[in-house]
Amino acid sequence: MNARQSSQATASAAWGPTTTPDWILALAKACDDHQSQKKAGDLVGYSGATINLVLKNKYNGDLSKVEVMVRGALLKESVNCPVLGILNLKECRDYQALKTFSGTTMGVFLKRACPKCAYNQENENGNQ
């Protein structure tokens, strides 16, 4: 009977035991805690297959986008949104993903502020 290797061990082997980024360690721990890469992926908005590739350091997509989602969802990092105030980083990215905002006053403010915001991932410096 083969015991499944922990996600933390997988990440450490792929990224290097002393150079594994903190957000990768947090993602691997979430996988182990939930005993599922899919469940951890659901927490950060990515598929289990993507999480597997990220942990193995083989993901060919935009790793910085995964990092932001992990930092927001698992490490609870936040930003100071010019419209909403202190906001979880994942929520910030979720708002940015909305290409249209509702007809509410808040939606109008977000529509105006998001494209110019320093935290917008489409801006050159949007990974603050």
For the stretch 56-107, pLDDT in tens is: 999 999 998 899 899 999 999 999 999 999 999 888 888 887 766 677 888 8
Number of domains in the chain: 2
Note the pLDDT of residue 111: 82
Question: Among 68, 41, 45, 43, which residue's Cα sits nearest to residue 55?
Answer: 41
* Secondary structure in 3-state letters for 16-67: CCCCCCHHHHHHHHHHHHHCCHHHHHHHHCCCHHHHHHHHCCCCCCCHHHHH
User: Which CATH number do you get for residue 51?
Assistant: 1.10.260
- pLDDT band, very low/low/confident/very high, at 15 (cuts 50, 70, 90): very high
- Classified as helix, coil or strand, 125 is coil
Tell me if 34 is assigned to some domain.
Answer: yes
Four-residue CA torsion sign, 65, 68, 71, 76: negative
Q: Which two tokens stand for residue 79?
A: 């930003």
Claim to verify: residue 13 and residue 67 sit in the same structural domain: yes
Residue 49 sits in the same domain as residue 99: no
